[in-house]
């Protein structure tokens, strides 16, 4: 029903949303929107607007802005965007079209938040990322479920599942694209007991170019501003060194071993897409070892720095890196300083949800009520589209 207009590739595109837990579903929408036009502006709703129309948000506006600004496909993030998309606001920022997923979003009154721009012919549909939403993630926290975890990735049958299940490989490839969303960008590696496999090739090197790398690893669960600030620090340091940033991502079993309960809230596939969409990252290693050995780092290439953020970790984890530093004197390991969001962790966010459990349970119920209305609106929209085609 909403066809892609001629010449849209020369236009500035608008997207808007809550972006609460800026997960890979949000990034997927921004990727598709950026692929359509020359620039992408992302409107971010205020805490008050979200509360009134949807229920309490978990992440505050400045935290959500940090996450949206870190997405490599976002040209500019706009705070305080209205919940019901306003063509006057779009025009103010020079945006000709608004892009949204193929689901219906309703306001506090149960009315389509995009009806005005749809009626004006300014609305373009992209495919919604399946099986992920803020509501899903809050549900995992409240239910303490672990069914989303991947099994031991050191076993071939399990890493084959991670790479080849459904459209996973296609999504790794798409999220690894550059800031245009159209060309190769980041590299995706898979660490196995025998070798470092290249799953997605990076953009081609210039003739004679030699690559240097800096490395940082972690769980990166509920990819949040604390992770983003650390990666920004690492990126800035890498720029001075003329190096690229490679991020090691631990598998679900490793994260659960050290965090317990039902952690990670996001599985390794979801976490890796969140890291890949970040503008401060040049590549990832799936199933990175908890202890980064010299042999493992040599698989990546010329790693000139290994960083660790301000979170606590057993010092012995980096013993081998430090030993190499002592014998070769190359200053390989560096602990990063504290930053704006160093108080934030996955546990900190989960605690926010659990402390306000009653509000979030009510939000889940409200989501169910709105979902029924949204199904009816979606059915009506499909019927209109069918009638249009028949005529």
Enumerate the β-bridge partners of residue 187.
283
Q: What sign does the dihedral 265-233-280-325 (CA atoms) show?
A: negative
User: Would the pLDDT of 175 be above 50?
Assistant: yes
- What is the rounded average pLDDT of the residues 178-206? 94
CA–CA distance, 240 with 178 (Å, rounded to integer)? 21
pLDDT tens column, 100-142: 987 777 777 778 889 999 999 999 998 876 666 667 777 788 7
Q: Which H helix or E strand runs over 275?
A: helix 268-276
Confidence of residue 208 (pLDDT cuts 50, 70, 90): low
- Within 10 angstroms of residue 96's Cβ, the number of other Cβ atoms is 17
Q: Which H helix or E strand runs over 199?
A: strand 196-200
- What is the rounded average pLDDT of the residues 47-72? 92
CA–CA distance, 107 with 115 (Å, rounded to integer)? 11
> Which range among 91-100, 162-171, 238-247, 316-325 shows the weakest confidence by mean pLDDT?
316-325
How do strand 196-200 and strand 187-191 relate by DSSP bridges? Answer: antiparallel
Round the average pLDDT of the chain to a whole number and report it: 87
Structure-token pair, residue 68: 């949206």
**pTM (2 decimals)?**
0.88
Q: Residue 182 to residues 11, 37, 177, 236, 243: CA-CA distances in angstroms?
A: 16, 11, 6, 25, 23
Percentages helix, strand, coil for the chain (3-state, rounded to 5) are 45, 15, 40
Query: pLDDT at position 102, please?
Result: 77
Domain ranges for the chain, please list them: 8-130+357-390, 145-346
| 275: Cα within 13 Å, side-chain hemisphere | 31
- Nearest Cα to Cα of residue 72 among 200, 220, 227, 228: 228
CATH topology of domain 8-130+357-390: Rossmann fold (3.40.50)
* Three-class DSSP labels, 86-127: CHHHHHHCCCCEEEEECCCCECCCCCECCHHHHHCCCEEEEC
User: Would the pLDDT of 372 be above 50?
Assistant: no
- What is the rounded average pLDDT of the residues 347-373? 65
Query: Is residue 216 exposed (0-12), middle (13-18) or buried (19+ Cβ within 10 Å)?
Result: buried
* Three-class DSSP labels, 245-263: EEEEECCHHHHHHHHCCCC
- Looking at domain 145-346, its CATH superfamily turns out to be HUPs (3.40.50.620)
User: Would the pLDDT of 373 be above 50?
Assistant: no
User: Would the pLDDT of 331 be above 50?
Assistant: yes
CA–CA distance, 37 with 16 (Å, rounded to integer)? 15
Confidence of residue 322 (pLDDT cuts 50, 70, 90): confident
Confidence of residue 361 (pLDDT cuts 50, 70, 90): low
Query: pLDDT at position 369, please?
Result: 38
- What is the rounded average pLDDT of the residues 257-263? 92
Domain 8-130+357-390 matches domain 145-346 at the CATH topology level: yes
The segment with the largest mean pLDDT, out of 15-19, 56-60, 69-73, 332-336, is 69-73
- Nearest Cα to Cα of residue 199 among 221, 174, 181: 174
DSSP 302-343: EEEEEEE-SS---GGGGHHHHHHHHHH----EEEPPP-TTTT
> Which range among 138-147, 250-259, 304-313 shows the weakest confidence by mean pLDDT?
138-147
DSSP code for 9 = G
């Amino acid at each position: 029903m909403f066809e892609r207009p001629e010449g849209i590739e020369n236009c500035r595109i608008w997207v808007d949303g809550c972006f609460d837990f800026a997960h890979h579903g949000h990034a997927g929408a921004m990727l598709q929107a950026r692929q359509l036009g020359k620039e992408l502006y992302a409107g971010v709703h205020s805490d008050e607007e979200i509360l009134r129309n949807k229920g309490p948000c978990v992440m505050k506006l400045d935290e959500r802005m940090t996450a949206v600004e870190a997405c490599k496909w976002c040209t500019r993030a706009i705070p305080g965007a209205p919940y019901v998309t306003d063509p006057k606001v779009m025009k103010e920022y020079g945006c000709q079209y608004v892009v949204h997923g193929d689901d219906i979003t309703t306001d506090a009154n149960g009315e389509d938040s995009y009806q005005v721009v749809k009626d004006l012919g300014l609305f373009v549909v992209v495919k919604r990322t399946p099986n992920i939403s803020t509501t899903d993630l809050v549900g995992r926290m409240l239910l303490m479920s672990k069914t989303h975890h991947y099994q031991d990735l050191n076993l071939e049958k399990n890493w084959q599942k991670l790479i080849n299940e459904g459209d996973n490989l296609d999504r790794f490839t798409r999220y690894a694209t550059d800031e245009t969303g159209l060309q190769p960008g980041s590299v995706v590696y898979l660490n196995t007991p025998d070798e470092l496999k290249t799953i997605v090739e990076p953009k081609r090197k210039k003739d004679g170019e030699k690559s240097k790398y800096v490395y940082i690893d972690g769980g990166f669960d509920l990819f949040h501003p604390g992770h983003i600030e650390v990666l920004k620090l690492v990126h800035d340091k890498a720029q001075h060194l003329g190096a690229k940033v490679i991020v090691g991502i631990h598998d679900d079993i490793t994260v659960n071993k050290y965090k317990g309960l039902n952690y990670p809230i996001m599985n390794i596939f979801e976490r890796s897409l969140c890291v890949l969409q970040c503008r401060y990252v040049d590549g990832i290693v799936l199933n990175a070892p908890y202890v980064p050995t010299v042999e493992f780092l040599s698989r990546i290439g010329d790693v000139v720095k290994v960083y660790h953020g301000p979170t606590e970790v057993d010092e012995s984890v980096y013993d081998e890196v430090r030993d190499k530093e002592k014998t070769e004197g190359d200053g390989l390991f560096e602990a990063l300083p504290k930053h704006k969001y160093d108080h934030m962790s996955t546990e900190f966010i989960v605690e926010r949800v659990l402390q306000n459990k009653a509000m979030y349970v009510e939000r889940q119920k409200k989501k169910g009520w709105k979902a029924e209305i949204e199904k009816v609106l979606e059915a009506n929209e499909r019927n209109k589209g069918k009638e249009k085609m028949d005529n």
